[in-house]
Structure formats: structure tokens, C-alpha cells
């Protein structure tokens, strides 16, 4: 995925511990929120939803029912704090969440029930994310630059 000049690709290190992975998902979303225009999340997990996610899961399923959608690809309003908080709460545990910028470029992706995290960050966002992780006692070095994909 080609990055614009102001954003670079970062991913969650495979060796990140669970607490760091959860913090990276949640704080990563908070950091890129200003650049997000559209966000979708699936209310599906490959593992049982943890207790701390149960209320958010019920609220997301209620939102899906309200909009007559299934439990996959539920669009949330980024500008609505309550809806955005649902994505923050569930992103570390879903099989898929996607965030897209006004430009049509993807800048956030969570997958594989918490093990997959990819973000396109500006230098300021990257610095802010590292600071947030440090403040939470999580490992800021768990967010690593993603090298460009080689074309066959």
C-alpha cells in the first residue's frame, strides 16, 4: 500500500504482550481519529469477547440493528464520541476494523482478534502514540515501521 509523503506505515510487533497490544489498538485509534472519515468494525471475534468489551459489543450490535446491517462491516460515526468509543473498546478483539481518511486511503486496520494492527501515521501521530503508550506503561517500541512491500 503506497503511503503519502506525510504518512508512514507502522505495524504491531508480533512479540508485543497482550496489554501493549490492547493499548496500541486503542491509543492508535485515538491518535488517528482526526484523520479518520469513515470507520467500519465487525462484531465478530475468533475468541470469546472479554468481559471489559461486553457492554460495547451489545451497543455495537444495537447500532447495527438500528441501521439494518449485519454483524460485519458496521459503520460508525467518527464524530460521535459514543460510537467512536465502541470502536476503541472493540478494536483489540475484533477480526476486522478499518479506518479511512477523506482522501480514500486507509490509515487504520485491526485484524486477527488483536494480533494484527496496521496504521499510517504522520510523524506527529507516531510521536504522540509512543508518548501515550509510555504513559500507560506499555512498550512504545512495539509499534514498528513496516517496510514497503516488494513487488514480485
Kindly report, residue by residue over 13-61, the tens digit of the pLDDT.
999 999 999 999 999 999 999 999 999 999 999 999 999 999 999 999 9
Instruction: Give me the phi and psi of 106, to 5 degrees please.
Output: -75, 135
pLDDT at 1: 46
For residue 114, what pLDDT band results from cuts at 50, 70 and 90?
Answer: confident
Residue 96 predicted with pLDDT over 70: yes
Residue 130 predicted with pLDDT over 90: yes
| Better pLDDT: 147 or 12 | 12
pLDDT at 3: 55
* pTM reported for the whole predicted model: 0.91
Alpha-carbon distance 113 to 68, whole Å?
24
Amino acid at each position: 500500500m503506497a503511503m503519502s509523503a506525510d504518512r508512514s506505515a507502522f505495524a504491531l510487533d508480533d512479540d508485543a504482550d497482550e496489554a501493549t497490544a490492547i493499548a496500541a489498538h486503542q491509543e492508535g485509534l485515538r491518535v488517528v481519529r482526526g484523520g479518520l472519515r469513515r470507520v467500519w468494525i465487525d462484531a465478530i471475534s475468533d475468541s470469546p469477547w472479554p468481559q471489559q468489551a461486553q457492554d460495547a459489543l451489545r451497543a455495537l450490535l444495537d447500532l447495527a440493528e438500528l441501521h439494518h446491517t449485519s454483524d460485519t462491516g458496521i459503520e460508525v460515526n467518527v464524530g460521535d464520541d459514543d460510537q467512536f468509543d465502541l470502536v476503541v473498546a472493540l478494536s483489540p478483539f475484533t477480526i476486522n476494523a478499518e479506518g479511512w481518511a477523506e482522501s480514500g486511503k486507509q490509515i487504520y486496520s485491526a485484524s486477527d482478534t488483536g494480533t494484527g494492527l496496521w496504521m499510517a501515521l504522520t510523524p506527529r501521530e507516531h510521536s504522540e502514540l509512543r508518548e501515550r503508550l509510555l504513559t500507560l506503561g506499555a512498550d512504545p517500541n512495539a509499534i514498528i515501521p513496516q517496510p514497503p512491500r516488494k513487488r514480485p
